[in-house]
Amino acid sequence: MRAVVVALGKIGLPLAAQIARAGHEVVGCDIDPAVVDAVNAGEPPFPGEAGLAEALQETVGAGRLRASTRTTDAVAAGPDLVVAVPPLAVDRRARPVWRALDAAIRAIGDGLQPGTTVSVETTVPLHTTRSRLAPLLEQASGLIAERHFHLVFSPERVYSGRVFRDLATYPKLVGGLSAAGEARAVELYRAFLDAEVWSMGSAEAAELAKLAETTYRDVNIAFANELARIADDHGLDVARAIEGANSQPFSHIHQPGVAVGGHCIPVYPRFLLAGAPDARLPRVAREINEAMPGYAVDLLGEVAGRRVLVLGVTYRGGVKETAFSGALALRDELQARGAEEVLGHDPLLSDAELEALDFLPWHGEPVDAAIVQADHREYADLGPEDLPAQAIVDGRGVLDAERFAGRVKRLGRP
Ligand SMILES: NC(=O)c1ccc[n+]([C@@H]2O[C@H](COP(=O)([O-])OP(=O)(O)OC[C@H]3O[C@@H](n4cnc5c(N)ncnc54)[C@H](O)[C@@H]3O)[C@@H](O)[C@H]2O)c1
């Protein structure tokens, strides 16, 4: 098989290496020349992906994987499969900003040849594959979908950092615009994946599956957050209650937390809701989760005129990503309630990066109050001498609360 993978990011590059490692010939395309140069040198352009360096050395070294900035030329060579994983940016309200995805699809369309199967893996709102991407490919190529080329949607479901492991274990979901196209794509995916490949019946079914699995997590976390607030009202321990509930096999309650952040979980329920104006549960779950930073500030007490520290500005521990981070919502909430200063600390961010996000960098000086927003491993070791604050809310349950002699409030814990 000959394949082209478009967008060599945290997801696309391991996928390209996976296809090449299965013995196929792959061209990986990216608009960033630095990414292309690194890949052609056999080096990962980003850190943290287990097994990627070895996979690149093996496949680039053997000449089965090469990178290029020329997507249209690579597609014009007539590969069997084109896999597209470009980013889909969103605005502050999690609405799609289509520019990058459209540009990548047009570049593919400009080179598209009869007989090629195109698979889009970027998470999209319902009907995007059929109603937006197919027409873009047809306009650019002059070809007709399902007559001259196939288009399928196959959501990327892996977790960055362990992509190869997830590719080997999670079923690959494939949904086409036609039964023939779907069958052809299933056959092509089976040629390089050890995991099961599932035929979903339509592109829309595959789109919905991805939105469902991410929205499930948001709804589940919202339920855990609601339980935490009930536990607070009744002086009960939510952690023990969830542990108890989950001790039989029908209960899978997640953990409460000060915020749901990152590129995926706060965003994809909004994609789902955009096509489902009458849906209620995901909307309520979003409202509950978006209210949690405000609830955490409530637990701190009066903040007007106080200096308040946010510990952990990335959206979660160990990941340098601030998209939709709860720290930003906490910052806004604290500013709106008249905090004198909002300080920030994060082991993954420099002072300049904190300042760019409107946090005053904190270097251990006493503050009036603090909220732990991200579960960075470093925070588990903090004691009262490292964190001199009158009131502390641990929004992730990472601090050793006993060391703080009653000054730490955890969500849903007496
Ligand atoms: N990161 C994750 O954990 C994850 C998990 C599941 C699904 N996804 C999906 O994968 C998509 C991509 O995520 P990522 O983490 O790989 O992104 P990323 O930011 O790591 O990489 C995106 C890459 O796309 C390139 N690019 C941008 N526009 C392009 C274009 N027009 N043509 C070619 N290349 C282009 C960029 O230069 C960059 O190298 C997401 O939008 C999401 O739908 C991501």
Q: What is the 3-state secondary structure (H, E, C) of 132-188?
A: HHHHHHHHHHCCCECCCEEEEECCCCCCCCCHHHHHHHCCEEEEECCHHHHHHHHHH
Q: 12 in ligand 1 pocket by Cβ < 6 Å?
A: yes
C-alpha of residue 78 to centroid of ligand 1, in Å: 23
* 370-406 core/surface letters (b: 16 or more CB in 10 A; e: else): bbbbbbbebbeebeeeebebebbbbbbbbbebeebee
* Distance separating alpha carbons of residues 375 and 127, to the nearest angstrom: 36
Residue-wise pLDDT tens digits, 164-220? 999 999 999 999 999 999 999 999 999 999 999 999 999 999 999 999 999 999 999
- With H, G, I as helix, E, B as strand and everything else as coil, classify residue 268: helix
Catalytic residue annotation: 210, 264
Q: 7 in ligand 1 pocket by Cβ < 6 Å?
A: yes
Q: 176 in ligand 1 pocket by Cβ < 6 Å?
A: no
Give the nearest ligand 1 atom to 6 CA. 33
385, 406 contact by CB (below 8 A): no
Average pLDDT over the chain reads: 97
> E-strand spans in 42-80?
65-68
Q: 123 in ligand 1 pocket by Cβ < 6 Å?
A: yes
**Token digits for 378?**
């470093």
* Distance separating alpha carbons of residues 189 and 179, to the nearest angstrom: 15
* Distance separating alpha carbons of residues 21 and 1, to the nearest angstrom: 12
The predicted structure's pLDDT at residue 48? 86
pLDDT surpassing 90 at residue 241: yes
C-alpha of residue 86 to centroid of ligand 1, in Å: 4
The predicted structure's pLDDT at residue 73? 98
Confidence class of residue 22 from pLDDT cuts 50, 70 and 90?
very high
The predicted structure's pLDDT at residue 23? 97
Average pLDDT over every residue of 377-386: 96
The predicted structure's pLDDT at residue 319? 87
Confidence class of residue 160 from pLDDT cuts 50, 70 and 90?
confident
Of 414 and 356, more confident: 356
Q: 267 in ligand 1 pocket by Cβ < 6 Å?
A: no
Least confident of 46-50, 177-181, 283-287, 298-302: 46-50
Protein residue with its CA nearest to atom 10 in ligand 1? 122
Residue-wise pLDDT tens digits, 312-345? 999 999 888 999 999 999 999 999 999 999 999 9
C-alpha of residue 99 to centroid of ligand 1, in Å: 13
| Model-wide pTM > 0.75 | yes
